[in-house]
Each structure stands twice: as structure tokens, then as C-alpha cells.
Amino acid sequence: MSVSDSFEPPAEPGARLRHPAEPWRVKSVEPLRLTSPQERRDALEQAGYNVGLLPADLVYIDLYTDSGTSAMSDRQWAAVMLGDESYAGSRSFYRLEAAVRRYYGYEHVIPAHQGRAAENILSRILIRPGHQVPGNMYFTTTRTHQELNGAVFHDIVVDEAHDPAADLPFKGNVDLGKLERLIDKVGAEQIPYVSLAATVNMAGGQPISLANMADVRELTRRHRIPVILDAARAVENAWFIKQREPGRGEETVAEILREMCALTDGATMSAKKDSFANIGGWLAVRDPQLAEKARNLVVVYEGLHTYGGMAGRDLEAVAQGIEESVREDGIRTRIEQVAYLGDRIAAAGVPMVRPVGGHAVFLDARAFLPAVPPEEFPAQTLTCALYLDAGIRSTERGAVSAGRDPDTGENRCPRLELVRLTIPRRVYTQSHMDVVADSVARLHARRGEFASGVSFTHEPATLRFFQSRFRPVASAPLFGPAAR
Ligand code: F0G
């Protein structure tokens, strides 16, 4: 992979002194509660040292996820009032269908209540036991549905995606050699589809290039293997293509999004990301037979094929959100806010994934807390420290999220041991970003005090990161009175 001529390297650490002003103003506010250090220590203990189990009221800045946490626009709230709650043939469904067709270009649209519901339907239709599914890095729910249906997932992302320091424009690209070798080894008939994510969440929100998608399309076409896009953050990916890929700077984000989708046979969508909806999703395909199967299954798991687990008002909010998502000023502000936080953290010398991705800043917990052994979960430990320090909730994206190998039962040991500071869309201000950057820098300055991490006291079998509980391995200062 080469760095293209037109790729602008990220600004030097500290160079970004502010991010562009938002193309909206605030119409409604939601009060936040400040907590004392003692309250946070007690709350974290009760939550089993899993910030995901904290009551949200005890969180000051919630960077757990960008999923369903965006601020909806006044137009979206107005659309909510227009929701048609007819059980069958809701007008709101047709509005959503038209928006997906127009902006994503897929003919058949099947609503589902969120991304993983679309993944469930797709996996049940396409996967048979013994199948092999290649993808540009795993995502937790996506791989779980693939495995529950009997497939084995194969990571075919470029090697650099696993290296936090590799500062390259398209770290979400597929390594075509890896894909070709897998096809040769297992045979094309064993591969129900290639799973392409844009952007790649677990790699740090890193984009895939259009050129790489076209190469994947060409290779899979020869072997008659479908390509399914995870479109949750495809608009953010399209923005990166516009900025970084040679010859794309003059195209609109909407045009690039259409081109990306045109290189795939279908998509699963979590509308809780790019589309600013609090709930919602869809599955879309070109093949009418596949669509027929999906409609049959969606009735079983979600609801009728014209509502798919969503109220009419949710369908409206998603449709309106799709239209807003491709506006250039909005997507620019979004990406630059994340970059601003990244720059401030980098300026403090904190190890993190480079370049900064679309939806989050990912801290390199292994480098941040080198004295905490891998089996004591440095990333999980760092999420606890961030909460204790300033009431910030982040996400573990390392060994706890990776789970265990279903065959051997062994802990997976991903090279990336990350903490994700995920930025909800249109929610937090530059001052909030400064609070976060200051806290990260403060903890980094105290990193010598962290000598041990946490261990499991309760470990669920699937998607364990959501419900697991831990205890501190030793009463290091992190968990004691020294925490501010
Ligand atoms: N695909 C990607 C790339 C995702 O990031 C997510 C969700 C999903 C699929 C599943 O969508 O939540 O609507 O069922 N990611 C959230 C996150 C949970 O925090 O990264 P969903």
C-alpha cells in the first residue's frame, strides 16, 4: 500500500488549535451530573470494574459509543411526528426505502431494528456450517452472527491495520493476497460472501479506499463470491476517500457513497451511526431472490417487512437522517472534531492509533500501561482509570472484546489492545473534548503508578465485554484514594 500524493498528512501534534465551528446551533439541552471521586470509586466497584455496567447518570462525558447516541436534528424530530404507524405498508417505510435507494443505491430494502438484527437475517440466509467468511477485520456482533451460523471468520485486512503506529491513509484496506490465498485454500464455494466494513471500527475507524474496493470486486467477481458492505459508517469512509484518494477530491460525499455501494451486492446498516438515529437499521440487497428470503425471515425475527422492528416514527427519523448525513459541512465538522481530540492527545505524547479514524480516538493501552501484563487487561484497566479520573466513559477494544476462540476456548489475544474514546455526533462541544484530552494527559503522566490490572469475576459466553465483571488484581493507586 502506498501513501497517495494527494493525502494530506495529519497536522503536527498540537497544530489543530480548534475544530471548525458547527453548522448548527443548540435548541435543547440535557443536564449532566458531576460526581465526586468517592462516588465514582463506589460506582465503579458496584459495576464490577466494567464501565458498561455503570448507570449513565453517574457518567459525565459518555464516550462509550457513537451508536444511537447522536443528537437528532429538529427536522428528524419533526419527521417523528409524521411517522405512519400502520402495521402494513406504512408511508414511513416507503420514505426510508426511497432514501436508501437514492443514497446507497440498493434496490431491495428490508428494515431491521438495528445493525446486528440485519446481520442476523443476512447470516441466517447465506451461511451454512463449515463456511468461511473473510472480512477486513472482525466486528464483535458481525463475527458472532457468522459464528453462530457455523462459519469461521478470516481476517484479510492489511497487516498495517494491526499496527497502531502505521500512519497510512487506508488502513482498512483488504490485503488481496490474503483473500486470494483463502479462496485457493478453501474453494470459492465455501465462501458465502466477503464481509467489507467501511470504516473499520476495530482498527480504529480506518477507511477502505475505492480502488481497493474495486480490486476486491474484481477478484470476487471472477470467483462469483458476493460482497456485503457493513455500511454503519460508510459516509465517514466516503469523507476520507474524498480527502485522501487521488482524483476524488472534486466528488461529493454522496457520489462517493454511491460508488462504494455500487461495488458491493448488499449491505447491513446500523442507522444508529451515520444516520443520527437513536435506533434503526436495514439490510439491502440487489438480488430479488435474496430479498425474498430476507423478507421471509424478517417477519420471524423483527416484524413485518415494512417495519422490521421499528416504529413508523423511527423509520422517518432514519430516512431524514440519511439525507442529513451526506451534507459536506456536517460530515466535515464531525471528522474534524474527532481529529481535534486526537491532536490534543497526541500533543501530550500519548500512544494512540494513527491516523485518527472517523468516529473515535483509540488509545494504545499496551503502550500506555506497559507494566500491566496482557492477561490483566491493560485496556479494561485504562477504561476504569478514565472514569475514576474525570467521569469519562470509554470502551475497551482489546482482549476482553475479542473473547475466546469457539473451538479451543482459549482467550484470543489481538495485537490491538485499545481504549476507544467514541464521539457521539452533534452532542459534545470543544470544551468537552478539552476535558477528555486533559484527563488522558493527566493519566499518562501518572502511568508509572499502574503496575497491575484487573481479572474476571464473571465472564459471559458471548459478547462478554458487555456484561462481564472484574476485580482489581492488587489495590494499586488506581483503585485507591490516590485517584482524583
Ligand atoms: N457494524 C459495526 C461496524 C458496528 O460498529 C456496529 C455497532 C454494528 C455493526 C452493529 O450495529 O449496534 O446497531 O446492532 N457498533 C457499536 C459500537 C455497538 O459501539 O461500536 P448495532
pLDDT tens by residue, 143-195: 999 999 999 999 999 999 999 999 999 999 999 999 999 999 999 999 999 99
As a whole number of angstroms, the distance between CA 28 and CA 6 comes to: 40
Confidence of residue 3 (pLDDT cuts 50, 70, 90): very low
Residue 245 sits in the same domain as residue 180: yes
Residue 432 has pLDDT above 80, yes or no: yes
- Does residue 383 lie in a domain region? yes
The answer to whether 232 and 172 have CB atoms below 8 angstroms apart is: no
Catalytic member of 307, 428, 465, 470? 465
Residue 113 sits in the same domain as residue 47: no
Residue 443 sits in the same domain as residue 310: no
Confidence of residue 414 (pLDDT cuts 50, 70, 90): confident
Domain total for the chain? 2
- Does residue 285 lie in a domain region? yes
Using the mean position of ligand 1's atoms as its centre, give its distance from the Cα of residue 73 in Å: 21
Residue 4: its pLDDT value, please?
37
Residue 5 has pLDDT above 50, yes or no: no
Residue 458 has pLDDT above 80, yes or no: yes
Tell the burial category of 222 from Cβ atoms under 10 Å away from its Cβ (0-12, 13-18, 19+): exposed
Average pLDDT over residues 248-264: 98
- Does residue 67 lie in a domain region? no
Place of cell 488484581: 473
Residue 160 sits in the same domain as residue 201: yes
Confidence of residue 351 (pLDDT cuts 50, 70, 90): very high
Residue 1 has pLDDT above 80, yes or no: no
Residue 15: its pLDDT value, please?
59
Give, for ligand 1, the residue of 208, 235, 272, 421 to mutate: max count of ligand atoms closer than 8 Å to Cβ. 272
Q: Which three cell numbers stand for residue 273?
A: 451511526
Least Cα distance to 127 among 15, 239, 293, 262 occurs for: 293
Least Cα distance to 234 among 219, 255, 211 occurs for: 255
pLDDT tens per residue, range 71-100: 999 999 999 999 999 999 999 999 999 999
Reply yes or no on whether 215 is catalytic.
Answer: no
Give, for ligand 1, the residue of 120, 136, 138, 139 to mutate: max count of ligand atoms closer than 8 Å to Cβ. 139
- Does residue 400 lie in a domain region? yes
Residue 91 sits in the same domain as residue 205: yes
- Domain of 299, CATH number, reads 3.40.640.10
Average pLDDT over residues 258-271: 98
Q: What is the identity of the amino acid at 50? A: N
Q: Which residues contact 321 (CB under 8 A, 6 or more apart)?
A: 72, 73, 76, 271, 274, 275, 276, 277
Residue 480 has pLDDT above 80, yes or no: no
Least Cα distance to 448 among 372, 365, 346 occurs for: 372
Residue 481 has pLDDT above 80, yes or no: no
- Does residue 479 lie in a domain region? no
pLDDT tens per residue, range 292-350: 999 999 999 999 999 999 999 999 999 999 999 999 999 999 999 999 999 999 999 99
Do you find a cis peptide bond into 306, omega within 30 degrees of 0? no
Instruction: Identify the domain boundary among 325, 344, 371.
Output: 325
Q: What is the identity of the amino acid at 327? A: R
Residue whose CA is at the smallest distance from ligand 1 atom 12: 115
Residue 12: its pLDDT value, please?
53
Residue 179 sits in the same domain as residue 274: yes
As a whole number of angstroms, the distance between CA 322 and CA 330 comes to: 12
Using the mean position of ligand 1's atoms as its centre, give its distance from the Cα of residue 418 in Å: 17
As a whole number of angstroms, the distance between CA 355 and CA 244 comes to: 12
Using the mean position of ligand 1's atoms as its centre, give its distance from the Cα of residue 64 in Å: 12
Query: SS3 string of the chain?
Result: CCCCCCCCCCCCCCCCCCCCCCCCCCCCCCCCCCCCHHHHHHHHHHCCCCHHHCCHHHCCEECCCCCCCCCCCHHHHHHHHCCCCCCCCCHHHHHHHHHHHHHCCCCEEEEECCHHHHHHHHHHHHCCCCCEEEECCCCHHHHHHHHHCCCEEEECECHHHHCCCCCCCCCCCECHHHHHHHHHHHCHHHCCCEEEECCECCCCCECCCHHHHHHHHHHHHHHCCCEEEECCCHHHHHHHHHHHCCCCCCCCHHHHHHHHHHCCCEEEEECCCCCCCCCCEEEEECCHHHHHHHHHHHHHHCCCCCCCCCCHHHHHHHHHHHHHHCCHHHHHHHHHHHHHHHHHHHHCCCCECCCCCCCEEEEEHHHHCCCCCHHHCHHHHHHHHHHHHHCEECEEECHHHHCECCCCCCECCCCCCEEEEECCCCCCCHHHHHHHHHHHHHHHHCHHHCCCCEEEEECCCCCHHHHCEEEECCCCHHHCCCCC
Residue 484 has pLDDT above 70, yes or no: no
Residue 333 sits in the same domain as residue 282: no
Using the mean position of ligand 1's atoms as its centre, give its distance from the Cα of residue 221 in Å: 28
- Domain of 378, CATH number, reads 3.90.1150.10
First-to-last C-alpha distance (Å) of the chain: 45
Residue 21 sits in the same domain as residue 94: no
Instruction: Identify the domain boundary among 293, 325, 357.
Output: 325
Residue 6: its pLDDT value, please?
37
| Distances 396 to 51, 52, 347, 401 between C-alpha atoms, Å | 9, 9, 23, 7
As a whole number of angstroms, the distance between CA 166 and CA 160 comes to: 6
Reply yes or no on whether 397 is catalytic.
Answer: yes
Q: Which domain holds residue 333?
A: 3-62+328-472
Residue 289 sits in the same domain as residue 413: no
Give, for ligand 1, the residue of 199, 201, 206, 310 to mutate: max count of ligand atoms closer than 8 Å to Cβ. 201
As a whole number of angstroms, the distance between CA 288 and CA 109 comes to: 10
For 32-46, 260-274, 366-380, 404-418, which range has the lowest pLDDT when averaged over its residues? 404-418
Catalytic member of 40, 143, 273, 426? 273
Reply yes or no on whether 140 is catalytic.
Answer: yes
Per-chain mean pLDDT for the chain? 94
- Does residue 415 lie in a domain region? yes
Residue 460: its pLDDT value, please?
87
Q: What is the identity of the amino acid at 426? A: R
Residue 355 sits in the same domain as residue 300: no
Q: Would the pTM count as exceeding 0.85?
A: yes
Residue 26 has pLDDT above 70, yes or no: yes
- Does residue 449 lie in a domain region? yes
Average pLDDT over residues 258-284: 98
Residue 358 sits in the same domain as residue 317: no
Using the mean position of ligand 1's atoms as its centre, give its distance from the Cα of residue 67 in Å: 7
Instruction: Identify the domain boundary among 325, 342, 374.
Output: 325
pLDDT tens per residue, range 185-227: 999 999 999 999 999 999 999 999 999 999 999 999 999 999 9
Residue 273 sits in the same domain as residue 385: no
Torsion angle, alpha carbons of 113, 419, 325, 139, to 10: -50
Residue 463: its pLDDT value, please?
84
Q: Which three cell numbers stand for residue 376?
A: 490483566
- Does residue 95 lie in a domain region? yes
Residue 225: its pLDDT value, please?
98
Atom of ligand 1 nearest to the CA of 422: 19
